[in-house]
């Protein structure tokens, strides 16, 4: 186990530690998390039974958790969560908004816990017109998480009028610093573009970093990207569209889960899985 993860775990309350063990490997804090909160932003992800069917399929692939909005959980059978964790997303914004970078809180940590959440997540767009409010919401959620012993996954992005193109390693490290300072237990970031650049980001924060999959690509490309990202020393992946929109979601999710949970430094086996 590396020092970064040991230090992160040492500061966790017992409640957070227990819940984190349900959504990540207790020894390494490694996890493959599949976000499926996109429907608030872009509309339905598929037919009426899409979430129920997809969660049930993914539960057999070795992934650690899914991210859903609170209302959507009511339409997924309880037994679908028997082998994977549940992260309830508290932020929302739509592609129909006059400000598509705006995010507001649409639920609370307490409500998420009542829904059975193992953790909660928030989305923060740094550089947006509403950055000030999003940071205030982050602080509010972090305080609630601390009081209730609930892990917080912060999805951090540089988005706004002055942001263009992929985020640099320096920008991603700044996003990670914000999340760390405001109380996140897990941080989701975009990929820095290369293992070396991503490794520099990881080295800048004591909080485990999980990397987004980005735009939809082919199944094989998604698996190869996952292997490349994991070689940088991040704690795991948070691939959404490249799993649930894949030609074979089960194949992609299973391969990525195996890659995530290989021993640190076991590069030959990781490469073979790609």
Which residue numbers are catalytic? 157, 188
- Other beta carbons less than 10 A from residue 15's beta carbon: 15
Q: Report strand pairing: 104-105 vs 91-92.
A: antiparallel
Which single residue is written with the structure tokens 């979601």?
A: 249
Residue burial 229-261, b: 16+ Cβ < 10 Å; e: rest? bbbbbbbbbbbbbbbbbbeebeebbbbbbbbbb
DSSP 66-78: EEEEHHHHTTS-G
Q: Which residues contact 145 (CB under 8 A, 6 or more apart)?
A: 16, 109, 120, 151, 152, 183, 185
Q: Which residues contact 205 (CB under 8 A, 6 or more apart)?
A: 4, 173, 176, 177, 179, 180, 187
The answer to whether 35 touches 64, Cβ cutoff 8 Å, is no
- Other beta carbons less than 10 A from residue 86's beta carbon: 22
| Pairwise CA distance, residues 46 & 206, whole Å | 38
Q: Collapsing DSSP states into helix, strand and coil, what is residue 86?
A: strand
């Amino acid at each position: 186990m590396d020092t970064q993860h040991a230090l992160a775990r040492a500061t966790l309350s017992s409640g957070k530690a227990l819940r984190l063990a349900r959504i990540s490997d207790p020894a390494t804090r490694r996890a493959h998390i599949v976000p499926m909160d996109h429907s608030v932003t872009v509309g339905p992800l598929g037919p009426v039974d899409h979430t129920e069917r997809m969660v049930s399929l993914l539960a057999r692939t070795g992934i650690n958790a899914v991210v859903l909005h609170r209302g959507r959980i009511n339409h997924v059978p309880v037994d679908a969560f028997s082998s994977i964790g549940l992260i309830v997303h508290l932020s929302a914004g739509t592609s129909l908004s006059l400000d598509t970078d705006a995010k507001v809180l649409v639920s609370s940590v307490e409500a998420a816990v009542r829904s059975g959440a193992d953790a909660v997540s928030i989305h923060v767009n740094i550089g947006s017109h509403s950055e000030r409010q999003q940071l205030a919401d982050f602080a509010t959620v972090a305080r609630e998480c601390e009081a209730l012993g609930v892990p917080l996954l912060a999805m951090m992005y540089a988005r706004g009028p002055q942001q263009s193109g992929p985020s640099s390693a320096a920008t991603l490290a700044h996003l990670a610093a914000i999340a760390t300072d405001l109380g996140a237990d897990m941080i989701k970031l975009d990929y820095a573009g290369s293992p070396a650049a991503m490794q520099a980001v990881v080295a800048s924060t004591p909080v485990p970093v999980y990397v987004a999959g980005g735009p939809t690509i082919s199944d094989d490309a998604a698996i190869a990207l996952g292997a490349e990202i994991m070689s940088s020393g991040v704690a795991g992946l948070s691939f959404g569209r490249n799993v649930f929109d894949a030609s074979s979601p089960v194949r992609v999710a299973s391969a990525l889960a195996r890659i995530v949970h290989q021993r640190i430094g076991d590069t030959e086996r990781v490469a073979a899985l790609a």
